[in-house]
Structure 1
Amino acid sequence: MWVGSVGERGLHQALFEVVGRAVNAVLARGTGTVDVTLTSDGGLRVVDDGVAVPFEADDSPGLDAQLTSLQTESGPCGRRLALLGPIAVGPFVTNALSSRLTAEVRYGGRRHVREYVRGAPVGAPVTAGPATHDGTTIAFRPDAGIFETTACSFAVLAERFRQVAFLNRGLAVSLTDERPADGPRAVGFRFPDGVRDFVAALEAEAGAALGPDVIGFEHEDPRMAGAMEVALVWGGLSGVRVRGFVNSRCTPEGGTHVDGFRDGVTAAITSYAPGLAPRRIDELLTAVVSVNLDHPEFLGATRGLLGNAEVRLCVAEAVREHLGAWFEAHPERAAEVVRRIVRDGEPD
């Protein structure tokens, strides 16, 4: 029940629990790298250069506790927590579902290693030599007696890690696959412009000629106990492409952040062009709406819908203000946006 499946989806979730811990260790430092490797012998390895947690810690649960029991209070919390999968319960579940796991923590100039078999530690942590920088490595082999497959999809993982890199601009993520007979393949992701880069990529993938401006902003609002990062562009293809994320988790069903975005866009454009029909306003629009909340409330059977009521008003106000200011500062480009919307809404 912890990973939702014993198939490929559950296998990926087990990996996401370890990668999520690594991503949050990097975000706690502010910037850094997470390297994920699908090893040639069927294992998985996750290396980060984030904040290292000793196996035994005095002021918070140490790495050993995180790997052997459910820790509701461990690690970064709130808006600083990136949620990679729909469950996000921690790496203890990965350890329990692995035939073997090795954890290495680098801090204080030394490497400290501990082995686990099917979730249980084998012996005490040992000091294994010097370390040149802090960080953590977790290598594990999924238990073939539990999972129907122990082969991860390179394409699925690459797409998810790419999203996470878009949504956390201080983060670099690499994925290496050592399994192919003709040699390893690897991809790496880092996006200095965050969701602006995300929107540009979505437009390119759709085959659109990117418009002159990707409009973007960041805003923090204490009323929703969180922050938002929004980017949008009116491109050249019909249809609406709006993607919502909460603490780096995709919300395919939308929610109050996406509703607030649409409210704000409608308010800004109808203020600038009062005669425009609201139903046409989001035509040609590509956007990413990312919010990071201290206390996100997910709804629905798959937790793919954001329910925090206060988020809708906060996002709507911020979008209206920033988009309205952009219209005022760029009247010629704003007029072109309106012309595109009207032209697309005309009958053939």
Structure 2
Amino acid sequence: MVTAKDVSDYSAHHLSVLEGLEAVRKRPAMYIGSTDHRGLMHCLWEIIDNSVDEALAGFCDHIEVFLYPDYSAEVRDNGRGVPVDEVPGTGLSGVEVVYTKLHAGGKFDSGLYKVAGGLHGVGASVVNALSARMDVQVDRGGLTQGLQFRRGEPGVFTDPKGELNPNNPFQPFEDSSKLTQIGKVKKGTTGTRVRFWADFQIFPKSTEFSFEDLKERARKTSFLVPGLTITVNDLRGEEHQSETYLHKGGTVDYVDYLAPDTAITDTWQLVGSGTFTETVQVLNPKTGHLEPKEMERTCEVDVALRWGIGYDTVEQSYVNIIETPVGGTHLAGFEAALVKTMRAEIQANSRKLKLGNKDTKIEKEDILAGMTAVITVRLPEPEFEGQTKEALGSAQVKPIVTKVVSDRLAAFLHSKRREDKTQVSALLEKIVAEMRSRLSARLSKEITRRKNALETSTLPTKLVDCRSNDVEQSELFIVEGDSALGTAKAARNSEFQALFPIRGKILNVQKTGTAQMLANAECAAIIQVLGAGSGRTFDLNQARYGKVIMMTDADVDGAHIRTLLLTLFFRYMRPMIAAGRVYAAVPPLHRIQVNAKGKTPGEFLYTYSEDQLHKELAKLEKTGRTYKEPIQRYKGLGEMDADQLAETTMEPHHRTLRRIRLSDEGAVNKAEEVFEILMGSSVPPRREFIVEGAAKLDAEMIDA
């Protein structure tokens, strides 16, 4: 903190300026939010945003940021450069006014900046006040000129051997301040370089700049300002790090980057603008006083959004490329328009969506599920809630955003293109399914939780349950067909092995929504039998069985059924797969009846592949053993006797199981991609996949 003695050391020429900055040092949290890591990064954001504002104005296309090991940071841009000439009525250069005067800057004049992030005029001067040292260099008019500050006071540092340090000797200006000419630059070259050192009188010495936060901010900004190149450099470690970001797209590209799931709609861009009038205080140059003046403002709206198959909502809101994590009037206007428009569209299609009179109206959470959206507005002099700009407070923005989003979204919903109609239909079904899922959440939990003795009657009648209540030991076999069920009943250990038959091929849930899945008897029964819910309501701890084993025939149809079951588990009961509790049974393909030889009795050998069969036959021939021909080839589970099925496929000590699991996040993404290719609605990617893989397939292996 600055003490009274510190203030007395200031020269009279700068005393009024420093008294203003003294308030910043006394209450820094009012201006930067806090004095921890977040506050230090906010200081860096303020300087970066000044350069970004030059890019928004069309005068800058490259920004570089450096983090140095001496707790300093530097921001360079190739913008117009801070004005170096004298500001009328002050006797000070433009550089000194910008970096020492609170509420001073070019962004109060709408003629200089149409839109800007730093509009309070306190950003650069606040950072200066909270820095042990700040060096500003400006390229302008063929010269490089500079000014140095110590805790907001202009002067000159004596840097021995050119080593920059905030503790070097400092001589403040006494009667007047002036810019130092550092060198010359080519004609037409302009730009600003600002380097500042964190002041440990304000920030704890353990506080450091975060390179990860800096990279994330640079990436976001490059999306929001297409064509702007941002390079960030970390020079603090043994190995220097550098990243460069340039995105020529806009909010559409940003949404595609943020989206965590597979899309069910294209990314829609809703663009428009509106005007409003407001009364602002404008300085009258004749009287030198502020006077009210009514001005017309234009608010530009740019919203990009899309829906995916997931449940998570991703919303990012910005005002003049400044992120507003708390939201504000622009986000409120967006969500209001979204809810109103989607409710009206669903009501208009109520018959098609099979909505009855008892259905409760759609809520915001139903619409936001699976949505990724970036909401940006640009307007002159927005009102933020506090200097940290975490929320937009301009009330006039909300109706403008609401109107733009309502009109543009309705245009997409009523598009005549066949592809758009398909996407809109899938979206409406998803929202209605979310509503029904929300309304039935409590009931679903009651139905799908593990049933006690009084509740077992509500389970599907086809379920052949086990006696044990030990979840870890219990196993559920999903069996293909009633014929296999009969054999499996005699083969199972009824203490811990339960059976549930399915009739043929279940619904392909990759192509349908939640509503169709729940309406399908087979899918609903599997979810009910497992007892842990589905989708967002799935609770792994409530699963009734420790293992789920898919026991299908060893043919093409069996493989297809197994794939359909895996699709159901991946889409709606993924934690079971992630926990490694889903398995595929491996029934044998062949049964070799070996004849007796001398005192050696006859026996049966089972093989699980063509290679294994040939190896076993070769081994028998080598030992002089004979076998009965033809060798039995199992076409289905129903061909086995109970003792054969038990020995080869169901008894834990003899069987072979394939565990289905996801090892990491990369595996999840890969699985999502494969399921979409094989089971999704889009045919061309599947055709391409089949054509590419056809050459690798041995036609003789197909059991036709």
Q: Same fold (TM over 0.5)?
A: yes
Give the strand-richer structure, 1 or 2: 1
SS where residue 64 of structure 1 aligns? helix
Shift of residue 168, structure 1, vs aligned partner:
2.3
Q: Distance in 2 between matches of 1:302 and 1:26?
A: 21
Question: Is 1:41 the equivalent of 2:65?
Answer: no
Question: Is 1:127 the equivalent of 2:215?
Answer: no
Structure 1 contact 218–229 (Cα < 8 Å) conserved: yes
The verdict on how the C-alpha distance between 1:38 and 1:73 changes in structure 2, with shifts beyond 3 A counting, is: closer
Deviations 1:216-241 (A, max 9, x none): 13322113631111100111211322
Question: Is 1:82 the equivalent of 2:117?
Answer: yes
Pairing 1:235-250 to 2, within 5 Å after superposition: 235-250=308-323
SS where residue 57 of structure 2 aligns? helix
Question: Is 1:94 the equivalent of 2:181?
Answer: no
State the AA in 2 paired with 1:339: A
Q: Which residue of 2 aligns with 1:201?
A: 257
Percent identity of paired positions between Structure 1 and Structure 2: 29
Shift of residue 299, structure 1, vs aligned partner:
4.1
Shift of residue 259, structure 1, vs aligned partner:
2.4
Pairing 1:1-348 to 2, within 5 Å after superposition: 1=28, 2-58=31-87, 62-75=94-107, 80-83=115-118, 89-123=122-156, 124-132=178-186, 133-149=189-205, 150-181=207-238, 183-203=239-259, 206=260, 208-211=261-264, 213-223=266-276, 225-273=298-346, 274=348, 275=350, 277-279=361-363, 280-299=366-385, 304-327=390-413, 328-343=415-430, 344-345=433-434, 346-347=436-437
Shift of residue 265, structure 1, vs aligned partner:
2.7
Q: Distance in 1 between matches of 2:183 and 2:386?
A: 48
Shift of residue 269, structure 1, vs aligned partner:
3.5
Deviations 1:190-235 (A, max 9, x none): 22222112111111xx2x1245621113322113631111100111
Instruction: Tell me the TM-score normalised to structure 1 length.
Output: 0.87
SS where residue 221 of structure 2 aligns? helix
Shift of residue 178, structure 1, vs aligned partner:
0.6
Shift of residue 177, structure 1, vs aligned partner:
0.3
State the AA in 2 paired with 1:106: D
The verdict on how the C-alpha distance between 1:92 and 1:215 changes in structure 2, with shifts beyond 3 A counting, is: same
Q: Distance in 2 between matches of 1:169 and 1:122?
A: 39
State the AA in 2 paired with 1:99: A
SS where residue 74 of structure 2 aligns? strand
SS where residue 85 of structure 2 aligns? coil
Q: Distance in 1 between matches of 2:344 and 2:88?
A: 53
Shift of residue 303, structure 1, vs aligned partner:
5.4
Q: Which residue of 1 aligns with 2:447?
A: none
Q: Which residue of 1 aligns with 2:668?
A: none
Deviations 1:136-171 (A, max 9, x none): 111121122321035201112222222222222243
Q: Distance in 1 between matches of 2:151 and 2:328?
A: 39
Q: Which residue of 1 aligns with 2:489?
A: none
Q: Distance in 2 between matches of 1:302 and 1:35?
A: 23
Between the two structures, name the one with larger relative contact order (CA 8 Å, sep ≥ 6).
Answer: 1
5+ long unaligned stretches in structure 1 = none
Larger Rg: 2
Structure 2 contact 132–199 (Cα < 8 Å) conserved: yes
Aligned residues: 342
CA-atom RMSD in angstroms: 2.8
Structure 1 contact 22–34 (Cα < 8 Å) conserved: yes
Shift of residue 120, structure 1, vs aligned partner:
1.7
Q: Distance in 1 between matches of 2:246 and 2:67?
A: 20
Shift of residue 42, structure 1, vs aligned partner:
2.9
Structure 1 contact 56–64 (Cα < 8 Å) conserved: no
Using the TM superposition, name which of 185-194 and 245-254 deviates more: 245-254
Structure 1 contact 17–88 (Cα < 8 Å) conserved: no
Structure 2 contact 222–247 (Cα < 8 Å) conserved: yes
SS where residue 141 of structure 1 aligns? strand
State the AA in 1 paired with 2:212: A
Structure 1 contact 99–143 (Cα < 8 Å) conserved: yes
Shift of residue 95, structure 1, vs aligned partner:
1.8
The verdict on how the C-alpha distance between 1:185 and 1:76 changes in structure 2, with shifts beyond 3 A counting, is: farther
Instruction: Tell me the TM-score normalised to structure 2 length.
Output: 0.45
SS where residue 245 of structure 1 aligns? strand
Q: Distance in 2 between matches of 1:239 and 1:151?
A: 33
Q: Distance in 2 between matches of 1:18 and 1:151?
A: 17
State the AA in 2 paired with 1:160: R
Shift of residue 243, structure 1, vs aligned partner:
2.2
5+ long unaligned stretches in structure 2 = 1-27, 157-177, 277-296, 354-360, 438-517, 519-704
Using the TM superposition, name which of 30-39 and 253-262 deviates more: 253-262
